[in-house]
Amino acid sequence: MPSLPPELFDLYSARHIPESHTWASSYLYDHPIAAADFVPTIDISRPDAASLIGAACRCWGMFLATGHRVPAALLGSVESQTRRLFSLPLHRKLRAASHPGSISGYGRPPLSSFFPKLMWSEGFTLAGDPTDIVSNLWPGDHSLFCEVMEEYKREMKDLAGRLMGIMLQSLGLAQEEMGRIGPMRELQRAFEVLQLNSYPACPDPERAMGMAAHTDSGLFTVLHQSAGAAGLQVLREEAEDGDGSGPTRWVAVQPLPEALVVNVGDLFHILSNGRFRSAKHRAVVGPVDHRVSVAYFVGPPGDVKVEPVRALVDPIRGPVYRPVTWPEYLGIRARVFDQALVAVRSPESPKPPPFTESLK
C-alpha cells in the first residue's frame, strides 16, 4: 500500500494500525486498571446534592450526573448528528480543517502535539457559530446539525449555571459570596466550546490510544458519551493520610445512558484553591464499537481573571495560585502542557500546594 501522510490515514477502513498510531505499552499501562471501582453517580436534583458533589470533586474530580433535566431526545439527536458528521468521507471533513491559530474545525486537538504518536480518534471543535464551520461540509444541508448543536449549547449553559452554584455551595460559599466571584457573575458571557470526538473500532486496541491522558483546562466539562461503548477512564489517586502514598489506578467510567459525566477542570481547581481535583482522564478504544463523545467546555470570558476564592484562602499559606485568564492559561498549556498548574502557582506560595497537586 502506498504510504499516505498520517493525517490522511482513514481510521474507519483500517485493517491494521500503522507505526504512526502505535503507542508504546508504557503509555497504556502506566498505571494498573482498577478491577471494580466506580465513579460516584449523583442525582443533582436532590436537596443534598451539594455535599455529595463536593465529596466527589475532592476525591475524584469527576461524577456522573443524573437528574440533569437535559432531554433524552436531545442527547439522542446530538449523538446521531455527531455520527452523521463523522460518517462523511475524509476529503469532505478536510474541508472544515482547522487553520493554525484558530481552535474551531476538524483536526487534532492541541494536546496531540505533546505525544509522539497519533491518537485513534477524530475531533471536531465548535467554538462560536457552528454554521461557519460546517456549511462547507453539507452544502444546503447543515441546518439540522446546527440547530441541534445550538439547542444543546443552550441546555449545557443552563446546566453549567446550576452546577457552578452547587459546586460553590459545596465549598461552603453563601449565595451573596458567589455573586462576587468573577466566573460565576459572568456566566452569561461564558466562553463555550463543543468538542465532538469519534473513536472508530480499532484492529489493535491494546496498542492504540483514543485520547491521551490530560486534564481539561476550563472550569469543568460536561461529557455525553455513547451508551453501551465504554472508553473513558479517570485516574484515581488514593492518598493514604494525604501523603500521596496510596495506589493510583485507571478507573473505567461506566457509560450510563441517562447520565452526563462532569469533570473538574484546571480553572475550578484554581478557584477552589486546590480543594477540587482537576481529574486526569483519557479514552481508550475497543475492537468492535464505534464510540462518539461530545464534550462541553465552559469557562469565563477572556477578560475575566480566575483566582482562588478569598474565603477559601487560609491566612497562613495564602493563595496557592495567581490570577489567570482562560486565554492566558491556554497559552501556558500550549507551552508546558501538564505542568501548567505548577506554572501558575502564586509566588507567595513556594511550597507545594496542600491539596490535590501534591498527591502525586
Ligand X SMILES: O=C(O)CCC(=O)C(=O)O
Q: Give the range of 129-137, 171-179, 225-233, 270-278 binding ligand X by CB under 6 A.
A: 225-233
How are beta strands 41-43 and 62-66 bridged, if at all? parallel
Among 217, 225, 263, 349, binds ligand J5X (CB under 6 A): 217
Per partner kind, with CB cut-offs from 5 to 8 A, the member of Fe ion, ligand J5X, ligand X, none near residue 231 is ligand X
d(CA 139, CA 130): 14
Contact 293, 225 (CB under 8 A): yes
Contact between 340 and ligand X per CB under 6 A: no
Residue 238: partners with Cβ closer than 8 Å, 6 or more residues away: 246, 247, 248
Q: Give the range of 9-17, 78-86, 223-231, 337-345 binding ligand X by CB under 6 A.
A: 223-231
Among 79, 122, 216, 357, binds Fe ion (CB under 5 A): 216
| 291 is annotated as an active-site residue | yes
Contact between 226 and ligand X per CB under 6 A: no
Contact between 225 and ligand J5X per CB under 6 A: no
Length of the chain: 360
Query: Looking at beta carbons only, is 44 or 294 nearer to ligand X?
Result: 294
Backbone angles phi, psi at 356, to 5 degrees: -60, -35
Contact between 282 and ligand J5X per CB under 6 A: no
d(CA 202, CA 204): 5
Contact between 107 and ligand X per CB under 6 A: no
Query: Looking at beta carbons only, is 269 or 333 nearer to ligand J5X?
Result: 333
Contact 257, 247 (CB under 8 A): no
Q: Give the range of 149-157, 213-221, 229-237, 309-317 binding ligand J5X by CB under 6 A.
A: 213-221
Of 282, 291, 333, 345, which residue is the catalytic one?
291
CA dist 49 to 27, 43, 100, 166, Å?
A: 36, 7, 42, 8
Per partner kind, with CB cut-offs from 5 to 8 A, the member of ligand J5X, ligand X, Fe ion, none near residue 110 is ligand J5X
Among 81, 169, 197, 325, binds ligand X (CB under 6 A): 197
DSSP string covering 152-212: HHHHHHHHHHHHHHHHHHHTT--HHHHTTSHHHHTGGG-EEEEEEEEE---S-GGG--SEE
CA angle, 44 then 47 then 48, to 5° = 80
Backbone angles phi, psi at 21, to 5 degrees: -115, 10
Which among 304, 325, 313, 324 is positioned nearest to 349, based on CA atoms? 313
Query: Looking at beta carbons only, is 50 or 333 nearer to ligand J5X?
Result: 333
Among 79, 122, 155, 216, binds ligand X (CB under 6 A): 216
Per partner kind, with CB cut-offs from 5 to 8 A, the member of Fe ion, ligand X, ligand J5X, none near residue 225 is ligand X
Residues that bind ligand X (CB under 6 A): 195, 197, 211, 216, 223, 225, 231-232, 281, 283, 293, 295
**Active-site residue numbers?**
291
Contact positions vs Fe ion (CB under 5 A): 216
